[in-house]
Structure 1
Amino acid sequence: MTQQRTWLITGISSGFGRHLTEQLLARGDRVIGTVRDLAKTADLGAQYPQTFSAQLLDVTSTDAIGNLVEHAFDQFKRIDVVISNAGYGLFGAAEELSNAQIDQMIATNLVGSIQLIRAVIPHLRAQGGGRIIQLSSYGGQVAFAGNSLYHATKWGIEGFVEAVAQEVAGFGIGMTIVEPGGARTEFRYGSAQVASLLSIYDDTPAHAFLRMLDPQNGLAAGDPARMAARIIESADIHPAPLRMVLGSQALQSTIDTLRQRLAHFETQTALAASTDFPAGE
């Protein structure tokens, strides 16, 4: 029988966060889950009054993140796994995005995740270790037209986590970046935001995402419940896997993209060397 763990998860009202929370509570673990509307998790509170704690949190507020983390560690003393999950998608060509949309997405997907990780590290270090899991996307490695700002946040958080993982490994803190492919969640079919579209882009790759967002054109292959189960299982893998791609299409697309990128870099050997000082100088 596995020991009961305590998990802190942001953004649990729907999608991966909801699936993760339901599975963890069902197996007897404790979950501190953050939402922007407590009513959306009232059913979980009624079903699991002893092991579930819903907390209001706006991840764009650094002060609110700090207060939430302090309160959670004070109340539960030890938190074994922190999952930074809160985020959303924003689609549209770069010039179609408003300044407010850009600021809000960076504050949510990138800065919010950074500040959550920074806030929990001292506590995990003091307790002798723990695990941080950052939800990204295979869009943290592969880029598509019409998704530029989303990619900016995911590529940004992946670089941050990869660096921080090296900083905290010696304290027993493992970090994992999860890169799911398309899944049947509200992220794609409910909560995704779309910019004010310009007709000039209608017949270009920038608006190809409109077909993807319409479920009548076919549903995503990814099962969010199975993906959530693999994320939970990753907490038992030692050492922590730095990256975990979920979805066969996502993995193949990532491999193909990285191979093309590597091949392009390998053509630049002479160019790169031409900018070095000659040997001996």
Structure 2
Amino acid sequence: MQKTWLITGVSSGFGLAMTKQLLAKGDRVVGTVRKDKNVRELMEKYPNTFFRYFLDVTDTAAIKSLVEDAFDALGTIDVVVSNAGYGLFGAAEELSDEEVTQIIDTNLVGAIQLIRAAIPYFRKQQQGRFIQISSYGGQVAFPGNSMYHATKWGIEGFCESVAQELAPFNIGMTLIEPGGARTEFRYGSAKVAKLMTEYNGNPAHAFLSMLDETNGLAPGDPEKMAARIIESAAIEPAPLRIVLGSQALASTIEVLQKRVTDFINQKETAASTDIDSLNNN
């Protein structure tokens, strides 16, 4: 059965890989871009199933207009994929105020507003699936990535809460947590702050080695990851989180196990702050 997808950021990375795979199997895609250079071929090849829209996800009014136009034009949209975003690297002190604001507006606020804009339409349909592209960096934190982690941890909390609100309407929510992949996210669109010599040799600058292709490419295959993301839309009930990449999963498990152990070791301290009557019952 043909499905209709709305995907932000389809000019590169997972968004482009997903769009190509979906169109090849006969689905319809509403895809947003900032520039259409990389999707012109798709526009020519799939004039009846690929619908390109220009969108700046930091523009909330434009997001609402896009969602309204897409649902009005196509009648039903089955899956909304919030994919647009980018990485920002540098120590917290090195980041400018403008860089902090921009990544929050793009990765966090833009994603929130897209989901909020589509909820009423999914609710009226009594069905739909949200797929939020997060990162294993939504669970694991590295130095030199503070604001990227802030946006991903933020959107994960938002989605986990909203998933519970929408379940009664047969609307699913899935957070995709990819590890490193060979996309423009790491080797093209990544933004680096104005670095300070004071942080040379500091863990905050370890990312410089990661961004250098001569040190080896990321292990993740974007085509395979895109295929797994597409497949997730058919899983019932919707999985809340899917980690992509063996290294990402191993790192996530290690961090979460340590976090749980740390919490267990705080049992007495936590109980010591309860009202006495609670401890006596």
Write out per-residue CA displacement over residues 81-138 of structure 1, whole angstroms, 9 at most, x where no aligned residue. Answer: 0000000000000000000000000000000000000000000010111100000000
Structure 1, unpaired ranges of 5+: none
Instruction: Tell me if 1:269 matches 2:267.
Output: yes
Q: Trace 1:125-274 onto structure 2 (pairs within 5 A).
A: 125-274=123-272
> What SS does the aligned partner of 1:279 have?
helix
Work out the CA distance in 2 between the residues paired with 1:81 and 1:27. Answer: 15
Q: Which residue of 2 aligns with 1:115?
A: 113
Q: Which residue of 1 aligns with 2:90?
A: 92
Amino acid paired to 1:213: L
Write out per-residue CA displacement over residues 63-83 of structure 1, whole angstroms, 9 at most, x where no aligned residue. Answer: 000000000000000000000
Work out the CA distance in 1 between the residues paired with 2:199 and 2:14. Answer: 32
Q: Following TM superposition, by how much is the alpha carbon of 1:38 offset from its aligned partner in structure 2, in angstroms?
A: 2.2
Tell me the number of residue pairs that the alignment of Structure 1 and Structure 2 aligns: 279
Work out the CA distance in 1 between the residues paired with 2:37 and 2:14. Answer: 18
- The TM-score normalised by the length of structure 2 is 0.98
Work out the CA distance in 1 between the residues paired with 2:117 and 2:127. Answer: 14
Structure 2, unpaired ranges of 5+: none
Work out the CA distance in 2 between the residues paired with 1:222 and 1:50. Answer: 32
> What SS does the aligned partner of 1:186 have?
coil
1:52 to 50, 53, 64: 50
Write out per-residue CA displacement over residues 161-189 of structure 1, whole angstroms, 9 at most, x where no aligned residue. Answer: 00000000000100000000000000000
Work out the CA distance in 2 between the residues paired with 1:40 and 1:111. Answer: 26
- The TM-score normalised by the length of structure 1 is 0.98
Work out the CA distance in 1 between the residues paired with 2:22 and 2:68. Answer: 22
